[in-house]
Amino acid sequence: MRIVALVPGGIGDQILFFATCDDLKRYHPNAQIDVFVEPNSKAAYRVSQSIHEVLTFDYQNRNSLADWGDLVGRIRDREYDVALVVAQDWFIGLLMWLTGIPVRIGYKAKNTPFLTHTITCRKNHYLAEVYHDLLQPLNISDVCPELTINVPRQDLEWAKQEQKHLGVHETGYILISGSSSNSLTTLSLRETYPIESWQEIIQECQQKQPNLPLVVIEQENDAQFIPSLLNITRNLKVTSPSDIGKLAAIIGGASLLLSIDNEALQLSVAVQTYTIALFGDREPVTRLPKNEKFLAIKSPTSKIKDISPQDVLAKIWGG
């Protein structure tokens, strides 16, 4: 069976889709599962264990009819048996009908005549479970499995060497992920937590746990975040994973991750690292499973900058 999934969204959204792919592969071990994702999100599949091929299409671009036609042609030429459509968009359903794929599964919307099977989208539910619902027409109705990833061995080895380089391999460490990568496409997700608030959190952690190092994750777009933080904070270590596998490996070795809503958060869930996540306008229930390892702090104003550092510290010491 040849299956294609159209999954818009950033790296975090892709990781949340992994559980669906893994369960599909468990029921159909010989199935070939391909995904069409946005170019900047392709990197997520370095740690996927179920996907055969990752293809790209810029869903957010102002695509011409020729661009959409090219997508239809690329999909039609591969002769898929099943299409999973994540976006609630009648136009995507029309395109899948034009490909001739016999089984086309998606969410109910106002106009969904081009899909063969539609599922009610459970808004305000954990997104991994919402994605997993798409498998119901394929007679897969089990509870959504936990997120898991497959970190390449060379990335695990890199993390070991990085921990030694940072001097944290024997003590453990608190990891901070305070910025979003360029792969996140929703503007609100690019909102960062204020430097001054991070400074207050870091300083109290250093006072209460002076022997527990704090490590901040540096990403490609951290031109201002990292230098500003280092300028006002002493004894802060920096790690710069070059890909999603190394990022997952360094998160897996942490005692605690402090993170905004980004791809590091979803990797932390997958590797089962204790996590405290800061949310602005998104509801935590849609991004985190019910698990005592993963604690959420929701802004009272839906703006992440309005989360009090004292609320974060209270979660760290008493959460």
Domain boundary among 106, 138, 170: 138
CATH (domain of 133):
3.40.50.2000
Q: Are 312 and 167 contained in the same domain? A: yes
pTM of the model: 0.92
| Residue in the block written with tokens 């979803």 | 266
- What's the number of domains the chain is made of? 2
Tell me what pLDDT residue 192 has: 83
Q: How far apart are CA 186 and CA 303, in angstroms?
A: 14
Tell me what pLDDT residue 180 has: 62
The bridge status of strand 256-260 relative to strand 174-177 is parallel
Both structure tokens of 194: 């204020």
Q: Is residue 145 part of a domain?
A: no
Tell me what pLDDT residue 110 has: 74
Can you give the residue range of the structural domain that contains 50? 2-138
SS3 of residue 198 by DSSP: helix
Q: Is residue 311 part of a domain?
A: yes
If the chain, 319 residues long, is cut into consecutive pieces of 10 residues, what is the mean pLDDT of each piece?
96 97 96 97 96 95 92 97 93 94 92 90 95 97 95 98 95 89 44 90 94 91 78 90 97 97 96 97 96 96 96 90
Q: Are 47 and 81 contained in the same domain? A: yes
Both structure tokens of 119: 């599922």
Ranges of H-type helices in 125-236: 127-132, 153-166, 195-208, 225-232
Q: How far apart are CA 120 and CA 134, in angstroms?
A: 9
Q: Are 126 and 204 contained in the same domain? A: no
Tell me what pLDDT residue 189 has: 44
Q: Is residue 148 part of a domain?
A: no
Q: Are 57 and 179 contained in the same domain? A: no
Q: Which residues contact 195 (CB under 8 A, 6 or more apart)?
A: 225, 228, 229, 232
Cβ-based neighbour number of residue 46 at 10 Å = 18
Q: Is residue 94 part of a domain?
A: yes
Both structure tokens of 271: 């590797």
| CA 188 to mean position of chain CA atoms | 15
Q: How far apart are CA 248 and CA 273, in angstroms?
A: 10
Tell me what pLDDT residue 186 has: 42
Q: Are 18 and 127 contained in the same domain? A: yes
Q: Is residue 144 part of a domain?
A: no
Nearest to 285 by CA among 261, 311, 319: 261
Sheet with 275-279: list strands edge to edge: 236-239, 214-217, 174-177, 256-260, 275-279, 294-298
Q: How far apart are CA 77 and CA 71, in angstroms?
A: 10
Domain boundary among 73, 105, 138: 138
Q: Are 132 and 174 contained in the same domain? A: no
Q: Are 60 and 190 contained in the same domain? A: no
Q: Are 160 and 234 contained in the same domain? A: yes
Q: Are 110 and 162 contained in the same domain? A: no
Both structure tokens of 210: 């002076």
Q: Are 165 and 73 contained in the same domain? A: no
Q: Which residues contact 239 (CB under 8 A, 6 or more apart)?
A: 162, 166, 175, 215, 216, 217, 218, 250
Tell me what pLDDT residue 285 has: 97
Domain boundary among 71, 104, 138: 138
Ranges of H-type helices in 28-126: 65-77, 90-99
Q: Is residue 75 part of a domain?
A: yes
Q: Are 114 and 170 contained in the same domain? A: no
| Residue in the block written with tokens 């029309």 | 94
Q: How far apart are CA 253 and CA 22, in angstroms?
A: 24
Q: Is residue 143 part of a domain?
A: no
Q: Are 303 and 205 contained in the same domain? A: yes
Q: Is residue 146 part of a domain?
A: no
Residue 304 to residues 29, 274, 282: CA-CA distances in angstroms?
A: 42, 20, 10
